Amino acid sequence: MSIGVPRLLVMSRSGADLALLLLGGFRTLVDGAMVELAARGYEDFRPTHEFAMRAIIAGADSASDVGRRLSISKQAAAKTIAVLVARGYVSSDPDPSDARRNRIQVTARGLDVLREGEAVFEDLRARWEETLGAAELAHLEASLVKLVGRATVDPEAPGWVGQDGIAGEK
Amino acid sequence: MSIGVPRLLVMSRSGADLALLLLGGFRTLVDGAMVELAARGYEDFRPTHEFAMRAIIAGADSASDVGRRLSISKQAAAKTIAVLVARGYVSSDPDPSDARRNRIQVTARGLDVLREGEAVFEDLRARWEETLGAAELAHLEASLVKLVGRATVDPEAPGWVGQDGIAGEK
DNA sequence: CTCAGATAGACAACTAGGTTGTCCATCACC
DNA sequence: GGTGATGGACAACCTAGTTGTCTATCTGAG
């Protein structure tokens, strides 16, 4: 492996490192949360699912709707919803007033996992508050809000990571 | 869609929102960088590629090496390297002193894209510095370092997002 | 009242970036 | 010189997306 090869030319990295830092923070939180949720009996729950379910709770009641809310294709949304239904987090019934639609809803179990998930994230945040101090963490959050806006809070377009495309119908 | 459905029970979200903020920050930076790099003629460059190339520069000179450095399987590393080679960012030649190995190296074009990428990230960071002030941005970075450690700077295990598994040989 | 156009959803094929498992060739060492 | 570790190739699979195509149904204009 020839370890210890010199970094050949410095190449300042603060911009890219900042991105890495943000990713690291996100991953630390999310990975921790997934581990904790698995331990609480939700082994098959994935971050994506949370976004989809929140979209449903926020008012999306069809797969296409969820797709629009999350800025992913309706097909992708339908796939996610299919696994959510298969795992009992979401129900899907034909819409009596529109035969094209399947009306989807978050089940009791779905609400449970969301609630637990939030508690878990709250715990993790509390742990960060310990190592950083409440003021500093609040400061960090405020800075991030200034940079990326409130957009994330009502999660328009997560699109996850570097997918670079926006869904378009045909 | 029945817009305006009430948020039914408050469910504090600050922990999860913090994660979303971090993700949002990362995506803002990376998406911006990819757009800018594409505009500069590197249309086929992906964030993953940067990690792999940095691993190579840092001393990994075989696919298995890269895999170890990035904590992904050697197969995954080999795939990434294959596209890097196909696109001219990396070269691969049989190792004269070990017939099993393919000795890989970052090409001139590869170094170019890395250099440009860093410049792009630097620009983006400068923009953030404008909207936030140098002190506040430095503060934010310091806080993140405290939380996630220096680990990210020499990128051990990006593993990207929520993949939850670590590579293991057989 | 009909018909054109929009919409919902299903199905298929594809991509990126990973994972396992299996296998062979080569190397290093006792 | 044989045994075990290593490098790499190949194949099959997974997740979270993408496009494209197709049908069924609804809606609004005339």
pLDDT of residue A90: 97
* Number of cross-chain residue pairs from A and B with Cβ atoms under 8 Å apart: 218
Is residue A170, in this structure, part of any structural domain at all? no
Contacts of B143 in chain A (CB under 8 A): 132, 136-137, 139-140
pLDDT of residue A150: 58
- Cα B69–chain centre separation: 13
Which ranges of chain A have pLDDT less than 70? 1-12, 150-170
Average pLDDT, chain B: 83
pLDDT of residue B150: 58
pLDDT of residue B73: 96
Is residue A156, in this structure, part of any structural domain at all? no
Is residue B33, in this structure, part of any structural domain at all? yes
Q: DSSP letters along B118-132, please?
A: HHHHHHHHHHHHHHH
Is residue A8, in this structure, part of any structural domain at all? no
Distances (CA, A) of A116 to A36, A40, A113, B3: 10, 9, 5, 26
Has residue B115 got a pLDDT over 70?
yes
What CA–CA distance (Å, rounded) separates A118 from A75?
28
Is residue B73, in this structure, part of any structural domain at all? yes
The strand ranges marked E within A62-101 are 90-94
Q: Which of A85, A91, A73 is nearest to A44 (CA)?
A: A85
| Sign of the four-CA dihedral B19, B24, B29, B35 | positive
- The amino acid that residue B116 corresponds to is E
pLDDT digits (tens, 9 = 90+) for B87-102: 999 999 999 999 999 9
Token pair belonging to A65: 């709707």
Is residue B161, in this structure, part of any structural domain at all? no
- Please check whether residue B121 is in contact with residue B33, taking contact to mean a CB–CB distance below 8 angstroms: yes
Q: Which of A48, A124, A83 is nearest to B161 (CA)?
A: A48
- A100/C9 CA-to-C1' distance in Å: 7
- Please check whether residue A141 is in contact with residue B21, taking contact to mean a CB–CB distance below 8 angstroms: yes
pLDDT of residue B120: 93
Backbone angles phi, psi at A94, to 5 degrees: -60, 135
What CA–CA distance (Å, rounded) separates B162 from A90?
22
Residue A105 three-state SS: strand
Q: Which domain holds residue A46?
A: 20-150
CATH number of residue A54's parent domain: 1.10.10.10
Specify the higher pLDDT residue, B30 or B162. Answer: B30
Closest partner CB to A148 (pick from B28, B123, B158): B28
How far from each other are the two terminal CA atoms of chain A, in whole angstroms? 49
pLDDT of residue A36: 92
Q: Which of B146, B70, B38 is nearest to A136 (CA)?
A: B146
Contacts of A117 in chain B (CB under 8 A): 16
B101 contact to strand D (CB, 7 A limit): yes
pLDDT of residue A12: 57
Is B122's CB within 8 Å of A27's CB? no
Is A28's CB within 8 Å of B65's CB? no
Q: Which of A28, A152, A163, A164 to probe the B interface (max B CBs under 10 A)?
A: A152
Strand D, CB < 7 A, residues 99-118 of A = 99-100
Total structural domains within chain B: 1
Is residue B133, in this structure, part of any structural domain at all? yes
pLDDT of residue A149: 74
Is residue A66, in this structure, part of any structural domain at all? yes
What CA–CA distance (Å, rounded) separates B106 from A8?
12
Nucleotides of C under 7 A from a protein CB: 7-13, 16-23, 25-28
